[in-house]
Amino acid sequence: MTNSPLTPGIVPGRLPADKIAANFADHEAALDRHEAQVAADRCYFCHDAPCIAACPTGIDIPLFIRQIATGTPQAAATTIWSQNILGGMCARVCPTETLCEQACVREVAEGKPVEIGRLQRFATDTAMASGQHPFVRAASTGKSVAVVGAGPAGLACAHRLALHGHDVVVYERRPKPGGLNEYGIASYKTTGGFAQAEVEWLLRIGGISIKTGVELGRDVTLDGLLAAHDAVFLGIGLGGVNALRASGEDKGGVANAVDFIAELRQTGDLTTLPVGRDVVVIGGGMTAVDAAVQSKLLGAENVTIVYRRGQEKMSASGYEQEHATSAGVRIICNAAPVAVHGNGTVREVEFAYTVDGPDGLTLTEETFRLKADQVFKAIGQTLTGAPDGAAVAGGKITGLPPRVWAGGDCAAGGEDLTVTAVAQGRDAAEAINQFLMGVAG
Amino acid sequence: MADLTSDFIGIKSPNPFWLASAPPTDKEYNVRRAFAAGWGGVVWKTLGSEGPPIVNVNGPRYGAIWGADRRLLGLNNIELITDRPLEVNLREIKSVKRDYKDRALVVSLMVPCDEESWKAILRHVEDTEADGVELNFGCPHGMAERGMGSAVGQVPEYIEMVTRWVKQNSRMPCIVKLTPNISDIRRPAEAAKRGGADAVSLINTINSITGVNLDDFSPEPMIDGKGTHGGYCGPAVKPIALNMVAEIARNPATHGLPISGIGGVTTWRDAAEFMALGAGNVQVCTAVMTYGFKIVQEMISGLSQYLDDKEIGLNDLIGRAVPNVTDWQYLNLNYVTKAQIDQDSCIKCGRCYAACEDTSHQAIAMSPDRVFSVKDEDCVACNLCVNVCPVDNCITMVKLPKGKVDPRTGTPVGDYANWTTHPNNPSAQAAE
């Protein structure tokens, strides 16, 4: 191993294997029983609790914490899963600091919320390790539903449909199910192959088959699915990436952050994954943070996130921003890319300072350049592959033909979060069930 | 999910969790919400005789003590029986029962100690189609000064007499609620049984003053500079209640008499403990007054999981621990344990050391780098270190196997032997 953080260019193995392994270990250790007990004892069991209202899936948080406190984490997990079948993943990746934990009355009172996310993980991990699966499928209805996309929305929808006794076929374009849980989240948030383990656990409900490598529009059509199934759910996510609209962005070394994250997640030996010495990430969301932090953890010497508006407008939470800066990532705000310089491959990125005024964002005359051998674009994903017949507005599916539902990032409503996708998938399944058993049944 | 269906003296309910006669069950609004939340049964707050309604104080009627993080551990009250007109309560009871035939609805009663008063109220209650009556011989404050409540419950002869009146004048199942403010709980239970009671329920509240205002020099809760003793309940009273339940359950004179367990039941585990000691069901009050009706969901899921894990039914749990409640003299003196500290879970606070070194048997060693270890040669297995340790299961008691030499006494662990045959027992020697 001859590379180091100082090696120029995009190269693998900047850090020794043991250092990389340590960097990509579980970034927040699981609570042990004692820690869980102490954390659970802090919950006040609030009436009509603000944390429940703040959870997109509406998990009965005080109840599950009380069930932990009384020594029944399995019952706690059932409480969680009955609202959010991907509660294990959400416990790991939810921005709890802007959801349940921000709403916690103890956050308001003491600036120290009950550790809801970590308690949720304790409950779901404990229950999954016990080997029990608390849900039993209803008798078969003979109805069949196609779910397009095996991401959080599709999986949540499929599980709820299967629970009601419907047969579900999930069509997934990628080789593995899980969607962004498998391909789009920082590795240290979901270690140990948890995304696949959770999918396997979820499938134990029965009645769900997953066909991978099948893409809507390429291998199957909406009409074809409607002919073969009684209803269709679209959870196709956002397949495209916004362009920088800066000159030179087609130069070598400029890549999509989501592709980098996906590649990283699918790389078994991270010492083989190349990364730049000077990495610039453009964007202000979770994807930007995940790409930047992981670049740093792979051994990049300098990693900078550049965001065009003020820091308070970054969609990455304060917690995530702090995580980035404590990992050694620099965050520059109020600057937008105007040009990518370099001879074939990127050498520098030029930015203009911005002013976020009443008339919108304007670029000032003043510019600066950042040295870069790798640039990641993380300025938002776009809807691609929406089938004919779907109405699209504001980059989201807003209307659908009969017998078709949609949820998750591709659909309008809510933030683009795993937990929101789960809620939408679950609720669509309930609507489909009503449709199948009421109108068509 | 285990079946939690309960049959208590012929009164059926979907689970063994009832709300005790108390402020939460004082009116239709509350009781309907409790049933909607999942409670299996309700004992309606105590009704009195017809006439001008009871009057309550208009200042604070509750006082409390708290643990760390202001967790409510004990609650005291000076509220009297219902202060709403009798006919309103009766109408509401009838209305609720009509809509909740699957739930238990028992009516608590407290009227003057004459047969006519009891006959009159029983006729009214029968009209409501309630499932049974509970005789409130327990409240220690206010009503006792008027010859009711614990004033009756402290005199076994009165208990027997009134219970008999009730059984003679009504076909309804009758539960007698006992006061703990008495020296031997077995006597009132025996009296209730002699009088024909179908069951006893206990404990009612304990005489208490929760605190003193050190500026006004008044007991709490304070009413215009004065205070009076109130009835104490909540998690803090549970051990007292468990013992009283067990005493009745193992007393040959009352063994098998159905018991409704009351006193600090807050979680499924508390309920299971009462039932293991002989209670056929439990009644809850302080926990819902602290956290609301919703807590029953945890009690249902927890008890159900426990029964599933144990692979037993609800009825198998009832009384399962009673044979193991015994007198001190029968405890095995050759059962030898030693404390053992799990170094991985020890957080090195040193509370075990302080407790043992200062107040017990100097059986814990402390190294310069704060490693705490048990000196088996000094450990008498008192359990104090276990009790003061902040980490659950960090210190445990490990049993010495038979034949192993106890380093403290230098003698090998022998077979079962108790005080009745111990050489130091003068009675044992006299018997030889």
Torsion of CA B15, B34, A50, A55, to 10 degrees: 40
DSSP state of B267: S
pLDDT > 90 fraction of chain A, expressed in percent and rounded: 96
- Indicate the residue type of A11: V
Which pLDDT score is estimated for A441? 43
Q: Can you tell me the distance from the alpha carbon of B74 to that of B186, in angstroms, rounded to the nearest whole number?
A: 25
pLDDT at B292: 97
CB spacing of A63 vs B392 below 8 angstroms: no
What residues does each domain of chain A span? 33-129, 144-239+383-439, 242-377
Residues of B within 8 A of A66 (CB-CB) are: 267, 295, 298
Strand partners, A168: A145, A208
* Cα–Cα distance, A2 to A12 (Å, whole number): 10
At A438, is the pLDDT very low, low, confident or very high (cuts 50, 70, 90)? confident
Distance CA B184, CA A359 (A): 83
- Ramachandran region, residue B182 (left: φ > 0; alpha: ψ -120 to 50; beta: rest): beta
Q: Go through the domains of chain B in sequence order and give each one's CATH number.
A: 6-324 (3.20.20.70), 332-414 (3.30.70.20)
CA distance A347 to chain B (A): 52
Name the closest residue on chain A to residue B391, using Cα atoms.
A34
Say whether residue B391 is in contact with chain A using an 8 A CB cutoff. yes
Supply B373's token pair: 């270890």
- Rounded to whole angstroms, the Cα distance separating B118 from B163 reads 10
| Alpha-carbon distance B100 to nearest alpha carbon in chain A (angstroms) | 25
CA distance B235 to B74: 6
Mutate to test the interface with B, among A41, A52, A64, A66 (most CBs of B within 10 A): A66
Question: Which residues make Cβ contacts (< 8 Å) with residue B209, sequence separation at least 6?
Answer: B63, B76, B219, B220, B227, B229, B230
The answer, for A131 touching chain B at a CB cutoff of 8 Å, is no
Question: Number of H helices and number of E strands within chain B?
Answer: 14, 20
Given CB atoms, is B69 within the 8 Å cutoff of chain A?
A: yes
Mean pLDDT of each 10-residue bin along chain B, 432 residues long:
96 98 97 98 96 93 95 96 96 98 97 94 97 91 83 94 97 97 97 98 96 93 93 97 98 98 98 98 98 97 96 98 97 97 96 97 97 98 97 96 97 96 84 47
Angle at B152 between CA B150 and CA B158, to 5 degrees: 155
- pLDDT beyond 90 at A18: yes
Contact: A42, B298; criterion CB under 8 Å: no
- Catalytic positions of B are 139
- Residue pLDDT, tens place only, A43-100: 999 999 999 999 999 999 999 999 999 999 999 999 999 999 999 999 999 999 999 9
Burial B368-398, CB ≥16 within 10 A → b, else e: eeeebbbbbebbbbbebbbebbebeebbeee
Considering only CB atoms, B302 lies closest to which of A33, A42, A67, namely: A67
Torsion angle of the four alpha carbons B349, B353, B359, B362, in this order, in degrees rounded to the nearest 10: 180
Question: Distance from A221 to chain B by nearest Cα, in Å?
Answer: 43
Count CB atoms within 10 A of the CB of residue B201: 34
- B275, two tokens: 């039932």
In order of B79, B114, B200, B233, B235, the CA distances from B179 in angstroms are 16, 20, 11, 12, 17
Q: Which of B71, B301, B392 sits opposite A34 (nearest CB)?
A: B392
Smallest CA–CA distance, residue B297 to chain A, in Å, is 8
Q: Does A368 touch chain B (CB under 8 A)?
A: no
Q: Is the pLDDT assigned to residue A440 strictly greater than 70?
A: no
pLDDT by residue (tens digit) across A233-279?
Answer: 999 999 999 999 999 999 999 999 999 999 999 999 999 999 999 99
Select from A41, A42, A75 the Cβ nearest to the Cβ of B305: A75
Q: What is the per-residue pLDDT for B245?
A: 98
CATH topology of domain A242-377: FAD/NAD(P)-binding domain (3.50.50)
| Chain A residues with beta carbon closer than 8 angstroms to that of B270 | none
Contact A45 B69 (CB under 8 A): no
In this structure, are residues A165 and A137 in contact, taking their beta carbons and an 8 Å threshold?
Answer: yes
Q: What is the pLDDT of residues A384-397, one digit of tens each?
A: 999 999 999 999 99
Across the interface, whether the CB atoms of B292 and A78 are under 8 A apart is answered no
Quick check: A66 and B292 CB within 8 A?
no
Does any CB of chain B come closer than 8 Å to the CB of residue A82? Answer: no
Backbone angles phi, psi at B48, to 5 degrees: -110, -175
CATH number of this structure's domain A144-239+383-439: 3.50.50.60
* Fold equal for A33-129 and A242-377: no
Residue B202 to residue B244: CA distance in whole angstroms? 8
Contact A74 B292 (CB under 8 A): no
User: How far is residue B123 from each of residues A327, B110, B130, B280, measured CA to CA in Å?
Assistant: 77, 14, 11, 27
Chain B partners of A63 at a C-beta cutoff of 8 Å? 294, 297-298
H/E element holding B352? helix B351-359
Residue of A nearest to B67 (CA): A41
Give residue B432's pLDDT.
Answer: 46
Q: Cβ distance A89 to A117 under 8 Å?
A: no
Q: What is the dihedral of CA A219, A224, A229, A235, to 10 degrees?
A: 50
In DSSP notation, A203-230 reads GGGSSEEEEES--BTTTB-HHHHHHHSS
Q: Quote the minimal CA–CA distance from A56 to chain B in Å.
A: 21
Task: Show which of residues 14-43 on chain A sit within 8 Å of chain B, judged by CB atoms.
Answer: 33-34, 37, 41-42
Instruction: List chain A residues with CB under 8 Å of B392.
Output: 33-34, 37
Please classify residue B327 by burial: count the beta carbons closer than 10 Å to its beta carbon, then call 0-12 exposed, 13-18 middle and 19+ buried.
exposed
Closest-CA distance of chain A to residue B276, Å: 17
Residue B322, both tokens:
């009673």
Query: Quick one: which of B232, B219, B169 has its CA closest to B195?
Result: B169
Q: Please, which residues 373-392 of chain A have a Cβ atom closer than 8 Å to chain B?
A: none
> CATH assignment of A33-129?
1.10.1060.10
Q: How far is A49 from chain B (nearest CA, A)?
A: 12
Q: Compare CB distances from B269 to A37, A47, A70 and report the shortest one's residue.
A: A70
Q: Closest Cα to residue B413, out of B327, B350, B335? A: B335
Judging by beta carbons within 10 Å of its beta carbon (0-12, 13-18, 19+), is residue A31 exposed, middle or buried?
buried
Cross-chain Cβ contact A47/B292 below 8 Å: yes
B2 Cβ contact list (under 8 Å, min separation 6): B303, B304, B305, B306, B307, B308, B313, B314
Chain pair A-B, CB pairs under 8 angstroms: 48
